[in-house]
Structure formats: C-alpha cells, structure tokens
Amino acid sequence: MFLALITFGSNYEAKSNLVKALKALNQQVQILAVSPVYENPAICKTTATPYLNGACLVKTSLQALELHEQVLRPIEDSLGRIRGDEGKVKCSIDLDLVLYEKQVLSTPNLQLPAPDILQYAYVAVPLGFLVPDWIHPITKQTMAEIANRFSQQKATFYHQVEVNEAIGASLRDAPRTLLRFAIAAELSAHTLSTMKPIQPWHWRKLPLFKLNGAQVFEALFLNFRDVETLQGRSPQRIATLLESPVTHSTHLARYSICAGSPRLIEGQQRLWTPPLGDILCFLRCLLNSHQDEDASMKAQSIVPSELPFTGGWLGWLGYDLAWEIEQLPQHKVDPLPFPIAYWYEPESFAVADHQQQILWLAATDLAQLDLMQSQLEQAVKQRETQNLPQDVKTTPVTCIFQMSQEDYIAAVQQAKKYIQAGDIFQANLSLRFEAHTPFDSWSIYRALQQINPSPFASYWQTPWGAIISCSPERLVQLSGRQVETRPIAGTRSRGATPTADEQLAQELISNTKERAEHIMLVDLERNDIGRVCEWGSVKVDELLTIERYSHVMHLVSNVIGTLHPNYDAVDLIRGVFPGGTITGCPKVRCMEIIEELEPVKRNLFYGSCGYLDWRGNLDLNILIRTLLYTNMSDSTSEAIVWGQVGAGIVADSDPQKEWYESLQKAQAQLNALNLALDISAKYRQ
C-alpha cells in the first residue's frame, strides 16, 4: 500500500461536486484525511466564480500512473469535466495527484511532485495544513515550509470556508474528524486508536509544607519495591519527576511536576514509543486530537492559568530524532535499550508551586485524590532526611570510557581540521562512560540532587530502566505563544574560596574565546526560534550571565520570542531540536561530523525530556548531566549505568584541556555512583 496526496478544486456547483468527487474517490482508495477547504479567486478568468480548493491524504495499492489514469480522470469525466477547459469560466471538478510517496516522475501526462506545489497557494496551503512534515522529494523542504512562502498572499485572498463537515460526513469509511496532521494516521495508526478526549481532571489544592519535588514524588508515586530490590526483576512501575530543586533562582525553580503511571482506556495504556520517522507527526496527532476539549475541562476555575502543566503528556525525545528532521548519514549503532521517543498521559499528577507553597493534585477520580492526600499527609508526619549512599570508598567499581584519551584527542584534532577548512565554527564532542553500581536509581538521583542541584532535573521510572538527570539547561519553553530558550556555553571549575570563585567567574566572562563561542551559539538559537516566531519578536533578554553549580560555573543567556500563529509546539521542536549548544555551529554539518567522530550513537543523551500540555504549552530540557540506568541479569544484584559528557571544540582548543574538561563535567555524576574520578581509570580500547 502506498501513500499519496491528491488536491481537489471546483468553481461550478462546487460544494456538491466536491462531495460527489470525494465519495467516488473513497470507493476506490482509502481516504485517510481531508484538509480544510479554502476559497480563492480563479486565476485564469478574473470574472469567474471563486474556487473551493483542498487536499486529501489517501492510501492505495495502485501505482502513480494507474491512480492518475484509472481513478482520477474517470471521476472528473463522470462529473462533466472536459479536457482542455482550464481557461473556461466554469470548472466542475479538478483532481490532481501531486505527491506519491517519495517518487519523482516526469511523463507527458503526470509530473511528480507536481510543479503546482511550489507555484500556487491554493495547492501549497492545504498540503501544509494537512501534512506539514511531508518532505518535498526535490527541494527537501517540508510542506509547512513551502506553505509558509504564501503566508502574505494567504492573508489577503484566502479564507477558509465551512464545508469540511459536509465533505467529511460523506466519507463513510474515512475519519469523521478532519485531523490536521493526518500523515501519522497511517504511520502511527496504533497510537491513534487510543487517542480519545482527555477525561476532565478532579483537582485539589493543598499546602506544600515546604516539601521539595522529590519528597512529593516519593510520597505519591515512587514504587520502592522497584528501586529497593534489584533481585526482584519485576517490570518497573512508570512514574516521572520533573524537579527544580535549586533555591537561588525563583524564575527557574518555581514549579516541580510529578506523575504516576499511564491512564488506561479500554484496557490499553496511554503510552507510546513512536519509531523514528513519525515521531513529530505522532506528537502533532496527540496535540491536535485535544484541540477541541470539553468546556468542562477548560473551565477549571480552581486552577490558576499560569500553572505550567494541567494535563497532557510527559516524555522524552532522544538526540537521534535529528535524523527525522535533517538528512544525516548513519554510520554508528545504538547499543542502549531505551527508545528514541517515549510519551505517556498520566492517570494522576501533582504540581508543586514552591513560590506560593501550594501543591495542586489532579486525578481522574475523586477516590484517587483522597488516596493522594492521605499519602501526602503521612509523608509530612514522617518526614526525615533522605538517606544517601554512604561509604564512598568501600565499594570498588570500575568506570569504563567508550574512548581512550588518545582517541578523544584525535577526534578533537580532526574537528579542528574541519574548523580550519571552513566546514564549521565550533563542534561539541562527547565521551560516554559506563559503570556498574549496587545502588538503586532513586538513591543515585537523590545523591545527584544534593551534589548538583539544577533547575531542570528529572527522574523517570520506565519499563527499560531509569533516567536520572540533573540538567541545568532548558532547550525550549512555550507558554501560550511566548517562546524561551536558554543556551549554556562556557564552563569553569568552582573556586575553593568565595574570592577565588569570583576571580574565576570574572575570568570566564571576560575571556575572548568563551565570549565569542557563546555569542555565536546565542545567535544560532536566535535563528532557530526565529524560524517559527513572529518577525521582530526574537530578543536576547539576558546575555552572558554566570550560573554556579556544585563543581562548575557556566555562561548563560536567554532568548525569547513570540510564536507565529501559523505554528505550534511541534513546529517549535522541529525548529530548535537538537540544541545548538550540544551540536555546534552550523548545526547540520556539526551533526554530520559528530556522527563521524563519536564511536556510538548518542541515543537519549543530548536529547530532551519534559512535558507537552494539552493547551499546547511545552517545556523541554537538554539531557546533559544525565545517567541511564538499567538492571543487569537476574544473577547479579548490580545495575549498569551510562553517562555522557562533552566539550565545545573551537579553532584554538587545546585537545588535552578539552579531555580534562569533559572528565570534570562527569565528576558530580561519578561521585553519586561512589566513584572517585581517576584519570588512570580503565579505558575501553
């Protein structure tokens, strides 16, 4: 079976003829979805009646020429279309095959992709609305990018007409809902089967009692049987914590979000792991399947509108999503067990407002709310300091790096050659390490939280293992239409005394190399969000500030903008992913070089995790300072942990210094694993 896109148009008894044409078409192919229908003036005759135009996505077993000659032309003939009537005032029906899989074809009767896609708004706009992520086989642009060329024209001579329901109602075997981004209806059909409206939440407002996010999560959702008993090997319960444990920045540390296991609908978990190739389309289907939620859900008067998450989905996007966004070479394998993408809708969750000291509980039934409140009250009564791993020197553990020092230095030198040749300005090269540990994942997370509190920390219990992250960096946030990205570039060790610390901070902020590298990456981020933001709205509201963490300090900036009305959260992800600070500049060429020089695929490392709110809000971190944790075989009580650290390489980088900077960034993670970072550690050759 093949996917194809067909455009349709009529300016003579248009509504009636379009319905007849689509009914006839649906008898010979499977219509998966229909775009909105637009009215636009006739091109050939200024006195002609305006046209109604749209597009539909179909699935067929026919080849392209067969579809064109055996289906579309006979339908046109049956509705009175006369060949060669393009210049006439009246046109009963026009059906054109414009895209067929990735096929490029040129015959006297059919050209694929159709040239009209690049020439006319009445073709490009419906396609951009229906299948924005479909890539033009020749120009390599997405349909959304092509449609956006006509945005100015669309504002003056396009307006959507209300015939969608009439057309949709005529398609007995097609979806009744006209999905905006329907390409995923075919590629992710298994996910759409459970996409039903979110059940309205029951909410409860409680005092926070000065609990941090980890304490709330531990009381409500943590499954201790999974994290305490490695010998049990039972599947881990699904639970998530998105925590802001830092205390020095109210703006970044106001909220923590924690959630339990996925909702069940008709016995199916609302949990998805879409494969590479349809991840963004899948997210669009999730988001757009809830655009018209019940008024009862939207009228949650008890819940303040500024609450960042009021229901939706939690999940991650691995770095390898980049292969869905860009045309990149694939040289390396991925040995890790975690899926590239993972999203789920929780059955219950809690949002802690640390500034107001309020805890918001949400659940799909009142009994669950009562249970959550009872668990929380018990936790407050029994609250005590968490026990962190002790006796750091008593458990010998081997740390294995995926590259030797010599291999890493050679990779840095090769990256510098690319810089000297003019391919790139800067690249981020990373180094993966692996270790075994007897400690459970939650204890490691709590240790990291104490050693290295960061504003975008997270902990995930999943069927594949645990994700333990103390990330200091936000990839992107969307709140309403306001976009924010917060790049970090430039690192120094912390000083032993306040005076030494301040001297190091001043040296970092005044260092010409660090400033140049940082500003270059800020400009990259400005360009990335500028792709989807309103013209003139992108600004740098914070430039070259110092943020301090346990072992290191960073140069940080903040870039803001206003999302263009034609775009949504998924367009924003496409525009900024992966973060420029963990690839380099220019981004695509750097990703090609990273694939060449690093020994394995990055998997989740340097991807993102966070939430997508049903209102369209989004907040994603960058998965740096992150550990991936999974149990080993049943015969051992140990678990295996992977981490990844890196450094930005520029023209005058010292390869030896970059190696030590990477090890320095691993220090806090290794401390939490009871590892003393030793440069003489065993290397994997």
- Using an 8 Å Cβ cutoff, are 569 and 612 in contact? yes
Beta strands in 175-305 (DSSP E): 202-207, 239-243, 255-259, 264-265, 268-269, 271-272
Instruction: For residues 475 and 482, give the distance between their C-alpha atoms in angstroms, rounded to a whole number.
Output: 14
CATH architecture of the domain formed by 238-248+310-347+408-672 = 4-Layer Sandwich (3.60)
- What angle is formed at CA 70 by the lines to CA 66 and CA 76, rounded to 5 degrees? 130
Using the structure block, give the residue that is written with the tokens 């070479």.
Answer: 329
Using the structure block, give the residue that is written with the tokens 């304490």.
Answer: 215
What does the pLDDT read at residue 168? 46
Q: What DSSP string runs through 383-418?
A: --PPPPP--TTTS---EEESS-HHHHHHHHHHHHHH
- Using an 8 Å Cβ cutoff, are 413 and 448 in contact? no
* 314/251: higher pLDDT: 314
For helices 569-576 and 279-288, what crossing angle results, to 10°?
Answer: 160
Give residue 305's pLDDT band: very low, low, confident or very high (50, 70, 90): confident
- Residue 342's H or E segment, with its range, is strand 341-344
pLDDT over 90, % of the chain: 44
- List pLDDT tens digits, range 612-633: 998 899 999 999 999 999 987 6
Give residue 500's pLDDT band: very low, low, confident or very high (50, 70, 90): very high
| Highest mean predicted confidence (pLDDT) among 217-231, 272-286, 290-304, 359-373 | 359-373
What does the pLDDT read at residue 573? 96
- What angle is formed at CA 645 by the lines to CA 618 and CA 573, rounded to 5 degrees? 20
Q: Is 37 helix (H, G, I), strand (E, B) or coil?
A: strand
Least confident of 346-355, 556-565, 661-670: 661-670
Residue ranges per structural domain of the chain: 2-187, 238-248+310-347+408-672
Instruction: For residues 594 and 432, give the distance between their C-alpha atoms in angstroms, rounded to a whole number.
Output: 13
> How far is residue 305 from each of residues 152, 290, 309, 319, 331, measured CA to CA in Å?
33, 18, 10, 32, 46
Give residue 300's pLDDT band: very low, low, confident or very high (50, 70, 90): low
C-beta pairs of 249-254 under 8 Å, 24+ apart in sequence: 249/455, 249/547, 250/355, 252/455, 252/456, 252/474, 253/354, 253/455, 254/353, 254/354, 254/355
- Using an 8 Å Cβ cutoff, are 131 and 100 in contact? no
Instruction: For residues 238 and 271, give the distance between their C-alpha atoms in angstroms, rounded to a whole number.
Output: 10
The DSSP bridge partners found for residue 207 are 358
287 has pLDDT over 60: yes
- Using an 8 Å Cβ cutoff, are 590 and 517 in contact? no
Residue whose C-alpha is closest to residue 469's, from 494, 445, 501, 495: 445
DSSP 621: E
- List pLDDT tens digits, range 316-346: 999 999 998 988 888 888 889 999 999 999 9
Using the structure block, give the residue that is written with the tokens 């678990």.
Answer: 639
What does the pLDDT read at residue 633? 60
What does the pLDDT read at residue 384? 56
- List pLDDT tens digits, range 166-208: 444 443 333 322 332 333 333 333 344 444 545 578 899 999 9
- CB count in 10 Å sphere of residue 457: 28
- Using an 8 Å Cβ cutoff, are 195 and 289 in contact? yes
**pTM of the entire structure?**
0.70
- Residue 312's H or E segment, with its range, is strand 312-317
CATH architecture of the domain formed by 2-187 = 2-Layer Sandwich (3.30)
Residue 466 corresponds to which amino acid? A
Least confident of 257-271, 476-490, 632-646: 632-646
The HSE-up count of residue 234 (CA atoms within 13 Å, CB side) is 10
- Residue 100's H or E segment, with its range, is strand 94-100
Instruction: For residues 399 and 643, give the distance between their C-alpha atoms in angstroms, rounded to a whole number.
Output: 10
What does the pLDDT read at residue 187? 32
Residue 56 corresponds to which amino acid? C
What does the pLDDT read at residue 662? 82
558 has pLDDT over 70: yes
What does the pLDDT read at residue 27? 87
Give residue 436's pLDDT band: very low, low, confident or very high (50, 70, 90): confident
Least confident of 74-78, 160-164, 273-277, 417-421: 160-164
The DSSP bridge partners found for residue 205 are 360
> How far is residue 285 from each of residues 4, 168, 187, measured CA to CA in Å?
19, 18, 11
Average pLDDT taken over every residue of the chain: 81
